Structure 1
Amino acid sequence: MTTSSHDSPSGTFTRIAFHLAPALMFAYGLVRLIDGRDGHHGPGTAWTVGHLLFLGALVLYGPVVLGLRRRVPAGGTARRLTANIVTGVALIGLAAFIRVAIIDIVVGLQAADPAEKSRLGGQYADVPAVLPQVFYEIGPMFFMLGLIALLVQLAVVGPRSLAGSLSPVLVVLGFVTIFVNLDLLSAGATLIWLALAHLARTPASVAAPRPTPAQPTTA
């Protein structure tokens, strides 16, 4: 008996990531509310704990993105190319987002007060200085756009369902909610979880087996 990717250890981890990534975002949103009770966000324990939760969420979104790619049904060259491009865009944006979280943690640990945190944040704005600073500013957007694009592709070429059709809409609403007010981060994370939860139960797609040539028959 063979084990499908859905039942393999990597498949199990991916299914967990579909739930845990938004859950850690949700927790970060709660810690951020606690951190802001004095009118400032960081530095301090709450800042560090919150950003560690956020970093964990971002790391887990890597398996989520790859899991979504594996759920795109096998198809022609255009479908595969589109899925690969948007997956690459999402992963590049995710790397930029992870950099932001790491720098926020480092700055929070070094700063003694909000003013120093702001000053140190400016010093780290172009670290590592190997890419134009504009990339560091807009890079995280690539993750959001790539994730939405993957969900749109799944809604179009994947199994037809109401949950699948609503997934990209819910993710867009989740990101918009977060952009409108960071204090609503937990609400946005909940919308993203609702978009991903049903996909955790969807097995990865596999290419259809090639037909075997008919064997000649003997009289």
Structure 2
Amino acid sequence: MKKPAAIALIAAPLLLAAYGLVRLVGKSDGVYGPGLDWQAAHLLALAGVILFVPAVLHLGSLLPRGPWRSGTVAVTLIGAVASMVQFGADIVFALRADDKAGMQALSGEFGDIPGVDLVVYQVGPQLFFVGLLVLTILAARARRLPWWSPVVLLVGIVAPPVSLDLLPLSGLLILAALWPAARAAASTAAQGTAPRGRGDGGSAGTHVAVGLRPASFGNGVTDSDDEVYAGPPPRITP
């Protein structure tokens, strides 16, 4: 589990950064969504959120057992599922619609379903990032992450509400915040597979100690008049 966790901790924020980059490229010609650039960006975001599931589970495993760990992990995963639904819905809307107005109409119909607007758009994605931040704070208090990981993560989370063009930077900041956990997980996996040295009775690897550890990406608020925003209404990720 350690090696897959390390991969997820690195790949998930990188995919979110890639989402932001593709979005910027898509905006550059003044036409963003529906189309290939929209679909590519949202598929990257969806893959990133999915990979955060093992990442969140690993962060939870760094904490002592207790109600705080169980509750925070559960809330974070619920938020991740809401984000997956949001990105997945926008991918479907883009497939079905011929233009932005059509996407807006479809998102409006979806958001009008009782409970969808609250769970999928207004609260769910925010729970994901708040839960992720709480996990890093608890891990830092347990000395499983450095003190600066929650600080860097917080900056990464609040950057997109300032400007959605900061999404690539936000993904890189989240990666930086989670990097100590990824490095420790990779080191633990390497130690578990390394051959034992002769006569020393121990592992040939070295022990690495960790230092003293997608308003959300998917809230749909845009900073450009020519983009679809997710309202409500309409409820479309940027």
| TM-score normalised by L of structure 1 | 0.80
List alignment gaps of at least 5 residues for structure 1: 1-9, 206-219
Equivalent of 1:133 in 101, 117, 121 = 117
Equivalent of 2:88 in 102, 110, 120 = 102
Q: Which amino acid aligns with 2:171?
A: A
The answer for the alignment partner of 1:81 in structure 2 is 67
1:183 paired with 2:169, answer no
Tell me the CA shift for residue 115 of structure 1.
1.3
The answer for the alignment partner of 2:233 in structure 1 is none
Question: For this pair of structures, how many residues does the alignment match?
Answer: 186
1:194 paired with 2:176, answer yes
Return the alpha-carbon distance in structure 2 between the equivalents of residues 158 and 87 of structure 1. 18
Return the alpha-carbon distance in structure 2 between the equivalents of residues 108 and 132 of structure 1. 19
Return the alpha-carbon distance in structure 2 between the equivalents of residues 157 and 11 of structure 1. 19
Q: Secondary structure at the match of 2:147?
A: helix
Q: For residues 86-134 of structure 1, give each alpha carbon's deviation from its aligned partner in whole angstroms, at most 9, with x where no partner exists.
A: 111100101101000100100111111111111111112155x5x4632
1:20-31 → structure 2 map (5 Å cutoff): 20-31=11-22
The answer for the alignment partner of 1:153 in structure 2 is 138
Q: Secondary structure at the match of 2:146?
A: helix
Q: For residues 145-194 of structure 1, give each alpha carbon's deviation from its aligned partner in whole angstroms, at most 9, with x where no partner exists.
A: 110001000111124xxx61111111110011111111110010010000
Tell me the CA shift for residue 38 of structure 1.
3.4
List alignment gaps of at least 5 residues for structure 2: 189-238
Kept after mapping to 1: 8 A contact 2:3/2:185: no
Q: Which amino acid aligns with 2:131?
A: G
Equivalent of 2:32 in 41, 57, 63 = 41
Normalized per residue, the structure richer in helix is 1
Pairwise CA RMSD: 1.9
Tell me the CA shift for residue 135 of structure 1.
2.1
Q: Secondary structure at the match of 2:111?
A: coil
The structure-2 alpha-carbon separation of the partners of 1:139 and 1:175, relative to structure 1 and needing over 3 Å to count, comes to same
Identical pairs, percent: 36
Equivalent of 2:97 in 111, 120, 124 = 111
1:66 paired with 2:48, answer no
The structure-2 alpha-carbon separation of the partners of 1:132 and 1:184, relative to structure 1 and needing over 3 Å to count, comes to closer
Q: Which amino acid aligns with 2:163?
A: N
Q: Which has the larger radius of gyration?
A: 1
The answer for the alignment partner of 1:208 in structure 2 is none
The answer for the alignment partner of 2:46 in structure 1 is 55
